[in-house]
Amino acid sequence: MHCTKKITNDLIWVGANDRRLAMFEGVYSVPNGVSYNSYLLKDEKTVLFDTVDKAVHQRFLENVASALDGRPLDYLIVQHMEPDHSSALEDILARYPKVKLVCNAKTQTFIKQFTGLDISDAHIVKENDTLNTGRHTLHFVMAPMVHWPEVMVTYDSTDKILFSADAFGTFGALNGALFADEVDFNKEYMDEARRYYANIVGKYGAQVQSLLNKASSLDIKMICPLHGFVWRENQASFISKYALWSAYQPEEKGVMIAYASVYGNTENAAEILACQLREMGIKTVMFDVSVIPASEIIAAAFKWSHLVFASATYNAGIFVSMEALLNDLVAHNIQNRTVAIIENGSWAATSGGLIREKLGKCKNINIIEQTVSIKSSVKAAQLSELEAMAEAIGSTFPLPAKNNVEDKNSKAASIDPAAMFKLSYGLFVLTAKDGSKDNGCIINTATQITVSPLRISIAVNKANFTHDMIIKTGEFNLSILAESAPFRIFEQFGFHSGRDTDKFAGSDYLERTANGIRYVPEHTNSIISAKVCESYDYGTHTVFMADVTQTLVLSAEASATYQYYFENIKPKPQPAPKDQKGFVCKICGYVHEGDSLPDDFICPLCKHGASDFTKITGT
Ligand code: FEO
C-alpha cells in the first residue's frame, strides 16, 4: 500500500524508508535506517524529482502511482545519479514510457554508464536553465561534487523551494515525521546530520561553499533533500551548520581524544590526559577507535576544536584501526584544528612520528610539538609530561581559567556582571535584506578587527530575525547611533520581532547603500556595509566576521555608548504601583509579574537574561 506525505498543495513526498540496511554505501553504519526521498510536483505538468534505492523501489512505485492518481508522468528530473537515488529509474521509464527525462550532460553520461540505456532524447539542462511546468518555474543550479560531479539542485521560484539533492540530508529513517520541525532535531538528529555531512560530503567543503554562495541569492522557504527531513522552518540554523562544516571550522571548543590501545596502557594515558583537561575546565570526549565506527569519530572531529590521537605502535607502524581512521580523516580534508599526539611502543615507538607525518599534510593543523612517548605503560615520571601536554592544549583555550583547587591563596573565582558593563559598548542599528523583506535590530557589539583587509566583527543574538537573514544572505549594514538618537529608534528596531512586524513600516528611512540594504540616515554618524566572510556559533549568539564593502560618514556627532544610553536616552523607570510584585528588565522596562524569576529567564522583548532584571519593591 502506498505511503505518501503531502508537502504543499501540489507537492507530495513519494520516497521510502529503509531500516534493514546495515551499511550505507557499504561503509557507514545506519542503525536508525535511512530515507530515500523523492518528490512529485503536480502542476499543469507532473514532475518527479529523482527516484530511490533498489531496496525500496516497490513501495516507491506504489507511491508514485498513487500520487499521480491516474495522471501521466511528464518529467523525471535526475539531480543525482548515484544508485541510492536512481535505482528505480529504469522502472519509471518502463512504466511511464512518455516521460521526458531531464538531466545535465554529465548525468546523461553516468546513466549510460550505469544502465546502458539509450537516453539520447533526454532534455539536457545547464546552469540557470529553467523549466516551466504551468504555475511553477524550475531553475537548475549545478552543484558539482556535492557529492558527485554530476549533481545539480533545482529551485522552484514559484513556491521558493530548493530541491537540494544530497545537501542538507540526514542519516536516519523518517519515523512518521517528514518535517524537521516535527521532531527535536538538535537533540535527536543533529549528530546524525553531522555524521552524514562529514562522511558524505565533508571532503568537498569548497564545493559546498560554492553551493551555499549560490543559494544565498535565492529566497528559500523550504529545503527538500534526498535523505532525511524537509526543512520548512528555521532553515537558517541548519544552513549555518553547513557554513561552519564546509569551512572546516569547529562547532565547539573542546578536545576529542581518539585512542587505539592493545592492552589498555595507551587508553590509560588517554584517560589521564582527559582527567587533567577536565580539571582545567575543558570539555572532553573519548573514542576507542577499535570499537567505535570511524564515521562517528570523523563526525566528532568536525565538531570539536582540538584533537588528540593516542596510538600503540603495531608492526612498526600506527595501530591498524587508528591508521585507517587517520587515512579517512585526511581524505575528508580535516583542517583548522589543534592536535596533540601520544604514542606507545614496547621496543620501538614509531606511531607518533607517523601520525604527525599524516596530519602534517592537512591544512592549518597546529600539532603540539611535544609527543608523549610511552614505553609499554605510563610511569609516574610521565604524569608531568601528560600534564605538560594538557597545559599546552589549555594554553590555546582563552577560557575558562584553570580551576586550581590546591591554590588556597587565590581568591575564589566569581563573576560580577557589572564588570561587563564597564566595556565601552557602542549602539548600532543592524539592518539586512532578504528578497523584498527589510529588517533591523539593535546590537551593542561591533568592532574593527583588521585594517587590511578592512574587517569587522559583530555578535548577534540568534533570536533576532535579522540574525537569520544575515545567515542566509551574508550581508548587512551597521548604522552607528549618535548621542542625539531618540528612544523611539530603540523602540522601532528593538523590543519586537521583525518576524511579525515590518520595522520600516511608516518610516522615512528609504535610503539604501550599494548592497541594496536600508540604513538609518538620521541620528547616526556613520554607516558601514559589510559582507560576511566567516561566522562562529557561540550558543545564544553568532559572531560574524565581515569585510567592509562601503562606508558613509554622515556627521561629526559623538557615538552613543551603552552607558550614555542608560544615563541620557532611556526613560527613567517610574515607581512601581504599590503592592505590585515582579521583576523589571533594566534594558527595556518589561515587567515579569510574580514572586520569583527563574535563573534562565529571557526577556521576551529585548532577549536579555535574568541578571538584567531587578525586583520591583513598590512604593
Ligand atoms: Fe544519497 Fe550521493 O547519494
pLDDT at 31: 95
**pLDDT tens column, 83-128:** 999 999 999 999 999 999 999 999 999 999 999 999 999 999 999 9
CB atoms within 10 A of CB 309: 29
Closest CA to 308 of 355, 348, 347, 242: 355
Ligand 1 contact via 85 beta carbon (within 6 Å):
yes
What is the whole-number distance in angstroms between the Cα of residue 136 and the centre of ligand 1?
A: 26
pLDDT (tens digit per residue) in 26-46: 999 999 999 999 999 999 999
Q: Is 0.85 surpassed by the pTM of this model?
A: no
Atom number, ligand 1, closest to the C-alpha of residue 36: 1
Q: Summarize the confidence of residues 36-58 as an average pLDDT.
A: 97
Which pLDDT value is given to residue 570? 83
Measured in angstroms, how far is the CA atom of residue 382 from the centroid of ligand 1?
47
Q: Mean pLDDT in the chain?
A: 91
Q: How far apart, in Å, do the first and last CA atoms of the chain sit?
A: 71
**CA-147 nearest atom, ligand 1:** 2
pLDDT at 404 exceeding the cut of 70: no
pLDDT at position 295 over 80: yes
429: CA distance to ligand 1 center in Å?
43
Residue 413: its pLDDT value, please? 61
Task: Please give the average per-residue pLDDT across 197-222, as a whole number.
Answer: 94
* Cβ–ligand 1 contact at 166 (below 6 Å): yes
Question: At residue 265, does pLDDT exceed 70?
Answer: yes
Nearest CA to ligand 1 atom 3: 82
pLDDT confidence of 371, banded at 50, 70, 90? very high
The answer to whether 267 touches 288, Cβ cutoff 8 Å, is yes
pLDDT at 527 over 60: yes
Q: Name residues whose C-beta falls within 8 Å of residue 520's C-beta, 6 or more positions apart in sequence.
A: 429, 431, 440, 479, 481, 489, 509
Distance CA 168, CA 170 (A): 7
> Does residue 410 have a pLDDT over 70?
no
* Ligand 1 centroid – CA 476 distance (Å): 35
Residue 134's pLDDT band (boundaries 50, 70, 90)?
very high
Three cell numbers written together for 409:
591563596
The residue with cell 580535516 is: 334
Name which residue leads in pLDDT, 411 or 160.
160
- What confidence score (pLDDT) does residue 236 get? 82
Q: Is residue 146's pLDDT more than 70?
A: yes
Measured in Å, residue 24 CA sits from the centre of ligand 1 at: 10
Average pLDDT over residues 419-428: 82
CA of 540 to the centre of ligand 1 (A): 33
Question: What is the predicted pLDDT for the residue at 197?
Answer: 97
pLDDT at residue 216, as a whole number: 86
Ligand 1 within 6 A of 84 CB?
yes
Residue 402 clears pLDDT 90, i.e. is over it:
no
Residue 591 — pLDDT band, cuts 50, 70, 90?
confident
**Proportion of the chain above pLDDT 70, given as a percent:** 94
The pLDDT confidence band at residue 240, using thresholds 50, 70 and 90, is: confident
In order of 30, 281, 424, 559, the CA distances from 548 in angstroms are: 44, 37, 22, 19
Q: So what's the pLDDT on residue 398?
A: 66
Q: What pLDDT does residue 400 have?
A: 47
Residue range 554-579: mean pLDDT, rounded:
81
26-39 b/e (C-beta count within 10 Å ≥ 16 → b)? eebebeebbbbbbb
Contact between 277 and 309 under an 8 Å Cβ cutoff? The reply is no
Closest-CA residue to 293 (of 319, 269, 265, 328): 328
Residue with the larger pLDDT of the pair 154 and 501: 154
**pLDDT category of residue 403 using cuts at 50, 70 and 90:** very low
**pLDDT number for residue 567:** 85
Query: Span 560-574, mean pLDDT?
Result: 82
Residue 577 pLDDT level (bands cut at 50, 70, 90)? low
